[in-house]
Amino acid sequence: MLLHIHPGSAKLMYQLLAAIFIGLILSYKIIISEMEKKKNPPPSLLSSLLSPLLFSIFPILFLLANNIKRLSTGEIMAPLMVSICTAIFIYLLHFLFTRRHDLSSFFTSMCMLIFLCYGHVFRLINGSHDPVEAFIRHRTLIPLLFLIYGLLFYLLRKKSLITANHILNRISIVTLIIPLFFLVTGIFEKRKISTRISSIPEIKYDVTSWNKQTNDKPDIYYLIFDGYGGKEVMKKHFDYDNSAFYNFLYAKGFQVLEKSRPNYLGTFYYIASTLNMMHLPDMKKWYELINRNAVFSIFKKLGYHTIHVSSGTSNVNLEGYADEYIEKGMFNEFRYTLLESSVLLAIEKFFVVEDFRTKILYTLDEFSIIPEKPSPKFVFAHILCPHVPFVFGKNGEKNSTTHVDITNRGKYKKELYINQYIFITKKIMEVIEIILNKSGKKPVILLQSDHGPPLGSFIEFTEGEIVNDKFNEPLSFKEILEGSLNNINAVYIPENKKIGYYDSMTAVNTFRVLFNHYFDAGLPLLEDSVHWVGDVKNLD
């Protein structure tokens, strides 16, 4: 399950309405002057540009403030520049045709608000996740907006909008102050959390007594394929036999931990737990625990070169913490959410599908280069596949689906998952072959998925399906849960050594066993328990 950046559509609307209310109160003198037919001073060029620029900044700043605990302020710079330049361009376009600053300012402000907030409004009024229904609504709503714009422009083209712009300036200032307040308080809260994180005793591992001088320092690859199902769930619910892949792993010398289960049914809780070798003491601290994790810190102290091959999710971003950070693609999670919140939501497929395909393929291609980098190295890659969006057919061809979603909010046909699953299985085998063949010294490969397929996201499992003229009932919550718990966990240790991994071991002990064998760490193994994310309730 991929936790996404929260767009906060309802909250944005509340803040916008509050800003309008406060802005009108602050503009009471201007409103009274207009009612008394007193002439308000004409705006300067700077004053005319104020509301268009501030309204172009507001939705971006709001999204950052609403997710500041999992984002860095640097994330907004590129979108901010694009948005500001767009506002200036639209303003100049209006001025070119009207030669009036007041008219240009008013309509540019309206355009920027509509352009950047369209997705928020659409999300609130669109009760269905069906892509066809959504497409029909877009085809109705967007022409309607153009019609309203044209009508307003026709009615107001000869009227003075100086007073309206003075009011809009005040509203836009208030609009920006509100998210700025939440942003500043969020930054301070984030710093407090980071301070508390550093004081958690479990993640302070003293490596001074470890055997750091050992000559046996293999390269270590930690690969997570998001949502990759184990063979049981694939056979039972998708009627797909993945034995060929498991036989491939056995033939290469992998030990498959067939009774393993994820410690947490949530991608980022899973990663935070694994990379800190502990059960999470506080579910709210996962972001800091990932991006300042113990495993990377330990490998650095052991003389390893650390590499993070990024999936593009803002929540797993080790840039500046890993020695080397590799990322490809125009859309990370923050930019995708911005796009989804704007009018570009209507044509998101054209922006995101190719970018997502490029990101996945580039990430996999990197493994033809990484083995040749100097050793010893620790390579961590979280790969968003076979997770949605479903953009690959069985052989890697483009998927013909008309809807893109990386958030698991929609419902899909299971065929889409199967096709992408088959494709990524082939690519996993290719990557393993490349790593083993190109490494001078045989490496350690840790192959995992954070959970199995999200059965609750597939139409056939939530609404039922007809198979061979027989209706299969929707799955129960227990069956959906069992499917999500069926992940993959396999380890390759050079020369087929048995170093302590066992069939029912969970990911929380992955690196404890590894450090104990190669560096005499003496770390005790933890309980192999599974936790329900909602209230941290043990499932065993």
Q: Could you give the percent of the chain with pLDDT greater than 90? A: 46
Q: Is 258 exposed, middle or buried (0-12, 13-18, 19+ CB in 10 A)?
A: middle
pLDDT value for 24:
84
Task: Please give the class, per CATH, of domain 200-208+221-538.
Answer: alpha beta
The pLDDT value given to residue 203? 60
pLDDT of residue 435: 98
- Provide the 8-state DSSP code for 304: P
Res 2: pLDDT: 43
- Tell me the H-state helices in 439-519: 459-463, 477-485, 510-519
DSSP for 229-249, please give it: PPHHHHHHHH----HHHHHHH
pLDDT number for residue 12:
83
Number of Cα atoms under 13 Å in the Cβ half of residue 64: 23
How far is the C-alpha of 149 from the C-alpha of 170, rounded, in Å?
22
pLDDT value of position 402: 47
| 125 three-state secondary structure | helix
Is the separation of the CB atoms in 312 and 329 below 8 Å?
A: yes
User: Which residues, other chains included, contact 504 with Cβ-Cβ below 8 Å and sequence gap of 6+?
Assistant: 257, 259, 260, 528
Cα distances (Å, whole numbers) of residue 444 to 234, 413, 427, 435, 514: 27, 36, 19, 10, 9
Judge contact between 64 and 75, C-beta under 8 A: yes
Residues in contact with 374: Cβ distance below 8 Å, sequence separation at least 6, in sequence order: 305
Angle between helices 231-238 and 477-485 (to 10 degrees): 140
Residues of the chain with pLDDT under 50: 1-3, 201-202, 402, 535-540
What does pTM read for this prediction?
Answer: 0.80
* Residue 405 near residue 388 (C-beta atoms within 8 A): yes
**Whole-number Å distance between alpha carbons of 460 and 440:** 47
| Cis preceding-peptide flag for 376 (omega within 30 of 0) | yes
**Segment 84-98, tens digit of pLDDT:** 999 999 999 999 999
Indicate the domain borders of the chain. Answer: 9-191, 200-208+221-538
pLDDT at residue 472 in the model: 66
| Contact call for residues 255 and 490 (beta carbons, < 8 A) | yes
Q: Quick one: pLDDT at residue 93?
A: 95
Torsion of CA 298, 187, 69, 301, to 10 degrees: 0
Residue type, 419: N
